[in-house]
Amino acid sequence: MAQARRSTRPQDAAWAVIADDRSCALVFHVCILAPVNAADQRLPVPGLDPEALYTVRVVDSPLPTAPGPLDVGDGHGWFQETVCGTVLMSRGLELPATHGDYRGTLWILEQPRT
C-alpha cells in the first residue's frame, strides 16, 4: 500500500502519496492563506528513495501573471526537471508564488525508466 503524508503547517495543506516501491509519488499543496511578501518556501517530500533520481513535473499550478519559471515547457504549464531523492526529502519542492488564497499545485515525481 502506498504511503500518504500530510503537512502540519497551519497556513497550508499538503499531501504526498508515495508508491510502495518508492518509484513514483503524487504531491499536492494548497496555500490556504497566502502570505504577504513571503520568502521562497519549500515542501520536503519524506519517504522517497534517497539514491534514486526523480523526474519532477508540475502538472497544475497557479501561474504568475508575468512570465516566470513555470511558463517553460510545452506551453500548458508543464515544467519538469530531474532531482535526486535526497534533495527532494531534505530541501524539498519549491512552492510557486501564490496570488490569492486557496491556490494549489500538483506534482508528479517518477524515477526515469531504463
Give the mean pLDDT of 47-68.
75
- For residue 100, what pLDDT band results from cuts at 50, 70 and 90? confident
Residue 62: per-residue pLDDT: 57
Q: How many beta carbons lie within 10 A of that of residue 90, not counting itself?
A: 13
Contacts of 75 (CB under 8 A, 6+ apart): none
For residue 41 the three cell numbers come to: 518556501
> Domains plus CATH for the chain?
3-110 (2.60.40.1180)
Question: For residue 19, which of 45, 43, 47, 42 has the smallest C-alpha distance?
Answer: 47
Does residue 21 sit in helix, strand or coil?
coil
Number of residues written out for the chain: 114
- What is the spatial distance between Cα 106 and Cα 59, in angstroms, rounded to a whole number? 6
- State pTM to two decimals: 0.75
- Using one digit for the tens of pLDDT, what is the confidence trace for 4-57? 555 666 778 888 999 999 999 999 988 887 777 666 778 899 999 999 999 998
Residue 4: per-residue pLDDT: 53
